[in-house]
Amino acid sequence: MTERVVLAYSGGLDTSVAIPYLAEKTGAEVIAVAVDVGQGGEDMGVIRQRAIDCGAVESEVVDARDEFAADYCLPAIRANALYMDRYPLVSALSRPLIVKHLVAAARKHGGTIVSHGCTGKGNDQVRFEVGLGALAPELKVVAPARDFAWTRDKAIAYAEEKGLPIDVSAKSPYSIDQNLWGRAVETGFLEDIWNAPIEDVYSYTANPAEPRDADEVVITFDAGVPVAIDGETVTPFQAVAELNRRAGAQGVGRLDMVEDRLVGIKSREVYEAPGAIALITAHQELEAVTVERDVARFKKSVDQRWAELAYDGLWFSPLKHSLDAFIDESQKYVTGEVRLTLHGGRAVVTGRRSETSLYDFGMATYDTGDTFDQSLAKGFVQLWGLPSRMAAARDARFGGPSA
């Protein structure tokens, strides 16, 4: 029986030439699977037909936009997921979802091999293959760009030789990956880290330096889930899409950073994630109001580790599942509203309210109505500092460290 390769298909040059090339190299039939995670651009029906025209025996398009928002973006909001405290996991979040659908397609069509278009120096090869190993370890993996040293020049020549129905004449100076959660741009002149980004780099966000009126938005959360914008009920997909539009129009969510790739090299990346940054900013503020101090302090380390696991391709790992359980419990009372002003490239919190708030006006105020018993503070301070005083006295006796 002829083997079948399930290919993660984007519709671009690299994955299009991979269809006939994989068939020649492996002798297998190729099934192309394109997963719509809100990347926009070409019509997905056109992409599906292109795969057939390039030689795929089957071509599937999966509309996973709502699934991506609810099962991947939403957990990232609740985890305040920012890799290196800045990057909102644009590409990293979509890969485990794509892996899930590649496995489903392999089982549906009798596939024994899975293929992707990643190179050997990027993070995505790890995310695809570690995810596949967790969900379907029996599947083999072939990565033409990595395993067969498949360069862009070779791909263009091969496409012309085979007469493939793709445009290979124009080449963007950038490598771009985008989805509902954001947009990642790299390579070209950006590889010189002294070069500043130009406006041509951006697509999801307007120039924040251009004068415009501010936009005020109120986001309602229920147990850490955004459920309404300005009082209008929204799904997770609608929440992200609407804030992409509104925050993006104010230039919110532009990031220019040098990040630590999983493979060990540093990489300069330019990101746009207006909805992600606005939602995480609002969510963090509501947590500050509703989450008890020690839980909040511990959750910061959980959030950081969660983001690292997602970035490192360990979405299906036992530790990630365990951290999910902690985060779920921590969100029990993260319910209320946060008001943001979107303007000049920033999302600034200007108000917050919650029926489950731990903020007590009577305890916090310095004016009339203060209910805080200050007579308790003196003894508290003495006991709190007791270990330090005892250690300082010991140091003085034995010549230890001094202030």
Q: Choose, from 4, 14, 65, 346, the residue flagged as catalytic.
A: 14
Asked whether residue 260 is marked as a ligand-binding residue, the answer is no
Asked whether residue 14 is marked as a ligand-binding residue, the answer is yes
Asked whether residue 175 is marked as a ligand-binding residue, the answer is yes
Asked whether residue 127 is marked as a ligand-binding residue, the answer is yes
- Nearest-angstrom CA–CA distance, 214 and 202: 20
Asked whether residue 83 is marked as a ligand-binding residue, the answer is no
Asked whether residue 16 is marked as a ligand-binding residue, the answer is yes
Q: Choose, from 4, 48, 59, 124, the residue flagged as catalytic.
A: 124
Q: Choose, from 53, 66, 175, 305, the residue flagged as catalytic.
A: 175
Under 8 Å between Cβ of 309 and 316: no
Residue 186, H or E segment: strand 182-186
Asked whether residue 123 is marked as a ligand-binding residue, the answer is yes
- Known catalytic residue at 71: no
Asked whether residue 119 is marked as a ligand-binding residue, the answer is yes
Asked whether residue 8 is marked as a ligand-binding residue, the answer is yes
- Known catalytic residue at 107: no
From the list 349, 195, 343, 318, the residue with the least C-alpha distance to 268 is 195
- DSSP-derived 3-state class of residue 215: strand
Asked whether residue 251 is marked as a ligand-binding residue, the answer is no
Asked whether residue 357 is marked as a ligand-binding residue, the answer is no
- Known catalytic residue at 124: yes
Q: Choose, from 4, 50, 78, 95, the residue flagged as catalytic.
A: 95
**Burial class of 54 by CB neighbour count within 10 A (0 to 12, 13 to 18, 19+):** buried
> Which CB contacts under 8 angstroms, 24+ apart, belong to 230-238?
235/66, 235/69, 235/70, 236/66, 236/69, 236/70, 236/73, 236/74, 237/38, 237/65, 237/66, 237/68, 237/69, 237/70, 237/180
Asked whether residue 55 is marked as a ligand-binding residue, the answer is no
From the list 281, 275, 25, the residue with the least C-alpha distance to 143 is 25
- Nearest-angstrom CA–CA distance, 106 and 93: 21
- Known catalytic residue at 95: yes
Residue numbers in the known binding site for L-citrulline are: 87, 123, 127, 175, 259, 271
Annotated binding site for ATP: 8-16, 117
Which residues are known catalytic residues? 14, 95, 124, 175
**Annotated binding-site members:** 8-16, 87, 117, 119, 123-124, 127, 175, 259, 271
Residues belonging to the binding site for L-aspartate are 119, 123-124
